[in-house]
Amino acid sequence: MPQKTVPKKNIEPVLVDIRKPNFNYEHLEKFETVNLTKIPQKRKGRFAVFKRTVLAVLVAFIIGVVSFIGITFANIKQIKSVVTETGSQIMQNFNSSVGALKNFEPSNATSYLENNTKSLATINDLVQKSFGQTILDTLGNIVPIFKESVGLIGQVSDLNYSLLELTNTLGDLEQNGFKYFQNNGSALIADLQKIHTFIQNLNAETKSIKNATSYLQSMSGFFGNLNQSIGDQYLKYSSDLYGWDNMLIALMNFLNSSTTEHVAILFQNPSEIRPGGGFIGSYADLAIRNGQIQNLDVRDIYDPDGQLTVKVIPPEELQATTPNWGARDSNWFFDFPTSAKTAVNFLNISKMYSEKGIRFDAVIAININVVESFLDVTGPIAVPGYGTINSSNLLPEVQKETEVGADKSAGQPKKILTVIAPILMEKLNGLNVQGNRALVNALKTHLDKKDIMLYSTDPVMQSFLGANNLDGSVYELPDSFWGNYLAVVNANVAGGKSDAFIDESVTAKIDMDTSGNTFTNVSIARQHNGNTAQDPWWKAKNNDFIQIFTEPQSSLVDIKGNDFRPKYSPLANYAQSTYAVNPDLNAIQSGEVFLSNFNAWQRNEFGKNVFGAWLVTQAGGTKNLTIRYQSSYTNVKALLPGQQYTFIFERQSGVKNSLDLTINAPFKYYWVESNSPVFTYRSDDPDKRIIITLTLGYQSLNE
């Protein structure tokens, strides 16, 4: 059927109910033909098209981001897995390297740190391979934790590198330090300056790492574990680094002074033992300037003592053998810093040095077995006029010349030492790599055994020496101390050189009640083997004033085996005003009490309660001293499981004694460390300080 077109008529394009007068509605009208066969469509606007386009792009972007994030987190998961596997080993290597450095073992430290270098490089390569630098930068801008995480890897790598540089410098000192000190002071100071710089860098890097891990731990448990590992295991050494740095600064100022600095080297002879070590028969004035030795003057100790213008009252035990106190007997104190300070005072006031304006600001005490170790390293040396000297015949030859040799007759009993010293120094200067390492190991052993002790008048250096147990000081007990302290200290008074043939063993048994009070039995056996020797000074009767250092709250219960004090008359009238009083000695002896029923003395020394007695041992004979004392602790109100008890033993310099220890827990308690009510310890050659910490466990009534 044909379509019909309907004309538009009588249709107004604008519909109004009321027309406005005088308004032209014609311009609003639009006439067009309407096709009724078509359905009208809504007209599309430009905004709708734009919206659909943006939506499509946004969807594509989201898909891309989701895919990227998926890949990213897959890579992060892989990285985290690798870090988790290697991270603990890296931390263990850090800890091991620091331990090696503290023991002055730079080669071992280097090995640990080189392993870390490989592990850190593996982690860094994995990160770069997984993301690339551009993506890393982009992710770092979007996700701060990612930026911090990647930065942390770099910080740990920098720390590892700084430690490696430090070990390399320490290795150079190990191999060449002695040579530098003799001939190249500028190289020695340069190495010390490098170490100072490295320590400053280490402090800054460890602080940066700690800050980073502290930030990251709040966002991830993984980083929390890392923060704990770094904070608890490695960064705890930051205070040690600070102490080392202060020490280095003070040491460089001392060594690199433009004026000559003087160090007193005290040669102690343990054949005639004194509380601070062996008798000081000779010493050396070590002059230092611009980082190296200027002169080493070995002398008889009686040279400066003969020029003392001040008379000082000696210890009571020595008043029958010497009228005046001097540097020769200055190591009468078990606390070496006190002995060293006393020695320095005597040397400084001697006209031999005071008239030249020379002052000693440091002391190094070495027992003669240290020199014997040097000869083990160098091998025998030819000494003109004395033949071949080795580690075995050094002491006998020196003692023979001192007692009855030609040098004694010529009035130069210590001349042999002045001849040996420069030859031995030259030998040490020519050591190869293996020899230098053996020398360093020997020095470390002697430091551990208290054969070498160091003291400085500089408060910073002395504080460092004390903190690192290098100064031979008596251990200071804390106020809250619960435990036992023991030191057996001998003093040979007019007993020849008989201590060279004395074997001493110490046995201690400690019982404890349920209130925490302790009851200690100490047995000391001394065997005099000098009867087999040929020379009379080895066979002399051993007159030993022995002191038992204990915890301050102890009280004597019984003592057996001790002798009466040898009869003596003081060689001077010390009531005269011309005699000065040493304040350290006076503080000890003015407060001592003679316990007549035990024939023993009780005094306070360096925060310890001390019981003193005499033991006289004939050549070929044995003496046994037994002592029992008890201690109560006002700070211990009740014993609880988990409570810690501490036993401390300190060795006397120059004395080799064995220690056999038994500690019995209170009734119904046991020691966690031994899983038994009994804890035992034995050493035939203990280090200078033994600290044993035990933890109480409690047994139930049904056990």
d(CA 206, CA 31) in angstroms, rounded, equals 87
Q: What is the CATH number of domain 483-564+599-698?
A: 2.60.40.3680
Residue 23, CA distances (Å) to 18, 192, 310, 380 in order? 11, 104, 133, 134
Closest CA to 53 of 42, 61, 63, 65: 61
CA distances for 339 relative to 188, 403, 453, angstroms: 30, 26, 11
Dump pLDDT digits (tens) for 375-414: 999 999 999 999 999 999 999 999 998 888 888 888 888 8
**Given this model, what pLDDT does residue 186 score?**
93
Location of structure tokens 């001592």: 592
Digit-coded pLDDT (tens) for 576-589: 778 999 999 999 99
479, 485 in Cβ contact below 8 A? no
Domain spans of the chain?
Answer: 75-255, 261-467, 483-564+599-698
Assess contact for 292 and 183: CB atoms under 8 A.
yes
pLDDT of residue 143: 40
Of 461, 472, 512, 517, which is closest to residue 651 (Cα–Cα)?
A: 472
Cα dihedral: 679, 683, 686, 691 (round 10): -10
Helix (H, G, I), strand (E, B) or coil at 657: strand
pLDDT of residue 80: 54
pLDDT number for residue 70: 43
> What pLDDT is recorded for position 565?
79
How far, in Å, are 367, 397, 426, 661 from residue 386 at the CA level?
Answer: 22, 8, 18, 45
* Structure confidence at residue 291 (pLDDT): 92
344 in Cβ contact with 264 (< 8 Å): yes
Cβ proximity of 517 and 582 under 8 Å: no
Question: What dotted CATH number matches 261-467?
Answer: 3.40.630
> Alpha helices, DSSP H only, in 17-105?
46-102
Name the DSSP letter for residue 676: B
Q: Order across the sheet with 502-512: list the strands.
A: 554-560, 622-631, 518-528, 502-512, 657-664, 678-683
3-class DSSP assignment, residue 526: strand
CA dist., res. 451 & res. 547, Å (int): 20
Three-state secondary structure along 300-318? ECHHHHCCCCCEECCCHHH
Please give the DSSP secondary-structure letter assigned to residue 535.
S
Ranges of beta strands (E only) in 251-393 are 261-274, 277-289, 292-300, 311-312, 360-367, 381-383, 387-389
Say which residue the tokens 């440091």 belong to. Answer: 362
**Distance (Å, rounded) from C-alpha 604 to C-alpha 597?**
19
Cβ(78)–Cβ(130) below 8 Å: yes
> Distance between CA atoms of 420 and 410, rounded to whole angstroms?
18
Neighbours of 206 (CB within 10 A): 20
Burial of 469 (0-12, 13-18, 19+ CB in 10 A): middle
**Statement: the pTM of the whole predicted model exceeds 0.85:** no
pLDDT under 50: residue ranges of the chain:
30-31, 57, 59-76, 78-79, 130-148, 150, 219-220, 701-703
Maximum Cα interatomic distance, the chain, rounded to a whole number of Å: 160
657-664 and 502-512 beta bridge pairing: parallel
CA proximity to 574, closest of 320, 350, 346, 328: 320
The pLDDT value given to residue 588: 95
Task: Give the bridge partners for 608, in sequence order.
Answer: 605
* Rounded distance between C-alpha atoms, residue 402 and residue 492, angstroms: 18
pLDDT in tens, 448-488: 999 999 999 999 999 999 999 999 999 999 989 999 999 99
Please report the pLDDT score of residue 49 as a whole number. Answer: 55
- Residue 355 in tokens: 């008239």
> Please, which residues have CB within 8 angstroms of residue 58's CB and are 6 or more apart in sequence?
none
